[in-house]
Amino acid sequence: MRPVISIVIPTYNERENVRPLVTGIAKALSSMSYEVLFVDDGSPDGTKEEIERAARESSNVRVTSRKGKLGLGSAVLLGTSRALSDLIIVMDADLQHPPEVLPAIGEKLMLGCDLVVASRNIRPGGTKGWSVFRKFISWGAKELCYIVLPASKSTSDPLSGYFGFRRSILENVEFRPKGYKILVEILTRASYSAVCEVPYTFEGRKSGKSKLSPREYINFLLLLLDLRHSKPKRSTRPEW
């Protein structure tokens, strides 16, 4: 039987977070048919082996591995191509995206939304443990998105890494992912109409190391430069 929802989770050196995440997802989606598809970028810390152990204990868990660190964006696209469901949810493996929000995202997809963004910028959402400087950087990046890419205004949180979509909106679309912000590219290149949001609170990392680096800021700017020449295939309309 095909799962109702496929959850795609890119990983790189997240071994300590695999079991708590799998457990949290199982608890959140206990009443729904789902699969969890991890896409691991050759983690040297044993992440892949930990996922394989979880997969032996649960038929809901699968893993696809790649040789080398090829990036989150391309991992999401690969996971989408191998997912069993037509309804896809993308989330991080670091436990900063609470699994408790999954049912709300899944429900909106099943009700007809093409794209569902888990937003930190609508109440009662927010962030935990962020410095004033980090909040300012995040705000500035969002405003830059709005200026350069009008399609990104269809959501209050275009930089969210926690979102769901219908596989059909990616059909016949050529992606050139750079860095972490694959949602920005989906907002600009994909074909969709109904965009919905759910609030969530971005949690602090409990273990492992952040993957955010100066290189990722550069990748973000390069992505914006690339996307500003893309022609949106539709007019977008927020449904909040």
* DSSP secondary structure, 60-113, as one string: TEEEEE-SS---HHHHHHHHHHH-SSSEEEE--SSS-S-GGGHHHHHHHHHTT-
The one-letter amino acid code at 9 reads: I
Residue 21: give the domain boundaries: 5-239
Total of domains in the chain: 1
pLDDT in tens, 176-234: 877 678 999 999 999 999 899 999 999 876 665 665 567 777 777 778 888 887 655 54
Q: What pLDDT does 236 receive?
A: 39
Quote the distance between the C-alpha of residue 159 and its chain's center: 10
CATH number at residue 141: 3.90.550.10
pLDDT value at position 54?
97
pLDDT at 70: 84
- Between CA 87 and CA 220 the distance in angstroms is 26
Residue-wise pLDDT tens digits, 71-123: 889 999 999 999 999 999 999 999 999 999 999 999 999 999 999 999 999 99
